[in-house]
Structure 1
């Protein structure tokens, strides 16, 4: 059983059509909401770089 504390994206559509995120000091776990839950794990610095790039591009 997962010990992650999952947070639902604030940009969810109706139902479970959204992304869930769980973090540790060094990792970010990103999951879809549909069973079976698939999880993508990336380094926290890499995820921060992705967010910076998305913010600077205006989300395009």
Structure 2
């Protein structure tokens, strides 16, 4: 397991299905799902920003 300082969203409950975020020493953002903590998605800031915009647009029905 990576020794990153994982943070959980304030929107997450104490149950499963939480997204965790960590920042590596070189600035890479890492995402993982609480049910599979060994599976990590590493993205740059622009990639995470684009993902969040796409999710918001999908939720709004655009």
- Bin for the TM-score computed over the shorter chain: 0.5 to 0.7
Bigger helix share: 2
In structure 1, runs of 5+ residues without a counterpart are none
Q: TM-score, with normalisation over the residues of structure 2? A: 0.64
Task: Please name the residue that 2:43 is paired with.
Answer: 42
Give the RMSD, CA atoms, in angstroms.
Answer: 2.4
Shift of 1:52: 4.8
Q: TM-score, with normalisation over the residues of structure 1? A: 0.65
Q: Take 1:5 and 1:36, find their aligned partners in 2: how far apart are those partners?
A: 13
Shift of 1:54: 5.0
Moved over 2 A (4+): 48-55
Task: Please name the residue that 1:33 is paired with.
Answer: 34
